[in-house]
Amino acid sequence: MARRRSPSFRILILIALTASAGRLQAAPEEGQVTLMDPVFVEASPVSSGAAMEKPWRYLSEPGFEILSRCSNSFNADYTRALRRAAAARLALLPEIFWGDLPTPIKIVLYDRPPERIGFLSSSPIDLSWIAEDSAILGSDSIRLSHPVTLGDGDTFINCGNYWDVQADNSDFSLDVDSSILIENRVPHFPAWFVAGLEGPNGLYVNRTLGWTLRGDSMTLPNALWTSSAETIALQKAARRASKEKVERKPPALLPLERLFDGAVPAEQRKLWNAEAALFVRWGLFGRGDRQAFLDFVDRSAREPITEALFRQHLGIGYSDAQKALGEYLLVAVGEPIAVPFTVPPDEPVNFREATPTEVARILGDWGRLEARSPEEYSHDFRRESLDQADKLYERIFARREDDPLFLAGFGLYELQTEDNLRARNALKAATAAGVVRPRAYVELARLRLEESLPSDQEGIGDLSRDEFAEIVALLNTARLQMPSLRSTYFVLARAFEHAPSKPTLGDLWPLSEGVRLFPQNSNLAYSVATLYRRLGYTDEAASMAHRAIAFAETDGDRSLLSGLLARLAK
């Protein structure tokens, strides 16, 4: 996308209200944008009087960077809500179940009244420069927007307008990062477990924990079956059976084999989501041996599920578990769950004035990500977003800014505008300084690879030893800045395809590691196994493809890998 300067300056906020509130999009390959549905529970609104111009305020909180133009009291309420959400997560699942991120999640908070109250618009939030030296953004008008999260693998930014949440926020509740932490956990969890947590029937319905605090515990709502009507019918049947003292018959469930492999037709997808949520609820709260279930889930992220593995951890086979699950359903739809919970201590919340570099780094990345938004958003929308990122970055870059995080973001922006020379220089400076931003290393390695490959590519021998060593060193750094990015391994596989000499199986070990970190990613397994085949390691390629099929979660993935196995067998 070629750069175009614009005299106006606007940061655009996406309105994600067209998405289903309960839908989770699959984690994308790096290089794509993750557009998350809004997750926001509003407190009582207040009048939308004219807002005073305020400087950006900044806070570094464990796992977050917050950039805010809201009031000090709201900033404190918001930060405490983040802390409660983190404590609630840890009461539900242990820390090792929540993924880590190499960079904190960025949060941008606005408090401007909309031009028309109650009008939801995809029109932009207008921002303009004020004092030249302070690099603070101001605004004359703003339209209502809801919090939206964008990300591209190693960084995520949540941006929203909280103009109507500025009064008593004691009941303010939010969940910005749970979905991100689950999706970025490596090895990745199987689809049934993610659906059980975050799907339309999960414990995190719409990716927000539906809990209420009661003293030293939090209460999770009763289970939701395939629909509200079905849930109510089950509740009535359970009460009637209890009153009349007759046997209660649960509805038919999917076989556990189908639950685990996800091989269900579209008409059974609602049942699959409901049963996944029921199974997770049963494992965590209905069996009595919570740790055994957690061990089973952790192991299922590392190796294919078999009935023997299931029995080893849960002590029963599929048939007995199916029966127990049906009986538990009739209990789960009628009973909430109390989970012990400790409210985090009320530590001080100390925002300070943001530096110009922090403003440019965070809002510039936001504009860059918006410019990569889905095609249904207009070309002008994406163009304007990129123009505003340009103004933010160029203003600070002109001051010869050498902050590695800023340079990494600037380099990724320049790459997006197809100015590869400036991108390479900025990314090289950032990585030389040891920046923690895996994509900076991956994209610089990708640039170096493209620059080094001859026009008449043949494969092995295309890269010199020095070129290959530089590219692999960059990718190894990215690989170690956990959690690894999938794109690291795709670029690494291509580098090995053009290595100066045929790599040994020992040389290829990082690629095998990548396949194990992302066991459900059939495209990665296919790419690596195809490389093994091309290099003559056919037995290892077949073993990798067989393992990947056992983890595959769609018929398309199974077909892709089966085709590779068929070619390997010839």
Mean pLDDT of 285-300: 94
- Contacts with 37 (C-beta within 8 Å, 6 or more apart), sequence order: 16, 19, 20, 21, 22, 23, 24, 206, 207
pLDDT of residue 50: 39
Q: What whole-number percentage of the chain has pLDDT above 90?
A: 52
Instruction: Kindly report which listed range (247-256, 270-279, 423-432, 517-526) carries the lowest average pLDDT score.
Output: 247-256
Question: pLDDT, tens digit, for every residue of 56-91?
Answer: 999 999 999 999 998 898 899 899 989 988 888 888
Structure token digits, residue 394: 């160029």
d(C-alpha 452, C-alpha 501), whole Å: 15
Residues in the chain: 570
Spatial neighbors of 95 by CB under 8 A, at least 6 apart, are: none
Handedness of CA 194, 197, 202, 207 (dihedral sign): negative
Mean pLDDT for 241-263 is 82
CA distance 320 to 66: 49
194-225 pLDDT per residue, tens: 999 988 898 876 545 555 666 677 778 889 99
Instruction: Report CA-CA distances (Å) from 370 to 118, 364, 377, 443, 445.
Output: 24, 10, 10, 19, 24
pLDDT, position 59:
97
306, two tokens: 């078999």
How confident is the model at residue 114, as a pLDDT?
A: 58
The answer to whether the CB of 43 falls within 8 A of the CB of 167 is yes
CB 528 within 8 A of CB 493: yes
Nearest to 281 by CA among 240, 330, 247: 330
Query: Highest-confidence range of 230-234, 457-461, 525-529, by mean pLDDT?
Result: 525-529
What integer pLDDT is reported at residue 433 of this predicted model?
Answer: 97
Nearest-angstrom CA–CA distance, 183 and 29: 12
| Cβ-contact 367, 11 below 8 angstroms | yes
d(CA 476, CA 488): 8
Instruction: Give the other-Cβ count within 10 Å of 45's Cβ.
Output: 12
The pTM score is 0.83
Domain residue ranges in the chain = 10-185+348-353, 222-335
**Kind of pairing, strands 156-161 and 212-214?**
unpaired
Is it the case that residue 126 has pLDDT exceeding 90?
A: no
Q: What's the angle, vertex CA 519, arms to CA 517 and CA 521, rounded to 5?
A: 105
User: What is the sign of the dihedral through the CA atoms of 149, 1, 438 and 485?
Assistant: positive
List the beta strands (DSSP E) in 83-227. Answer: 105-110, 125-126, 128-129, 137-138, 148-151, 156-161, 212-214, 217-220
Please give the pLDDT value at position 249.
Answer: 76
Closest CA to 341 of 229, 211, 428: 211
Pair of tokens at residue 15: 């309105």
Dihedral sign (CA 361, 367, 373, 375): negative
Q: Are strands 34-36 and 57-61 parallel, antiparallel or unpaired?
A: unpaired
Mean pLDDT of 533-559: 94
Q: Reduced to 3 DSSP states, what percent helix, strand and coil does the chain have, rounded to the nearest 5?
A: 50, 10, 40
Cβ neighbour number for residue 479 with a 10 Å cutoff:
21
pLDDT tens by residue, 503-514: 999 999 999 999
Structure confidence at residue 391 (pLDDT): 87
Q: What is the pLDDT of residue 336?
A: 87
Rounded to an integer, what distance in angstroms lies between the CA atom of residue 107 and that of residue 353?
Answer: 15
Mean pLDDT of the chain: 81
- Higher pLDDT: 101 or 380? It is 101
Which whole number is the average pLDDT over 90-96?
91
Q: In sequence order, which residues have a C-beta less than 8 Å from that of residue 555 and are 6 or more positions away?
A: 263
What is the maximum alpha-carbon separation in the chain? Answer: 81
Reported as a pLDDT band with limits 50, 70 and 90, residue 21 is very low
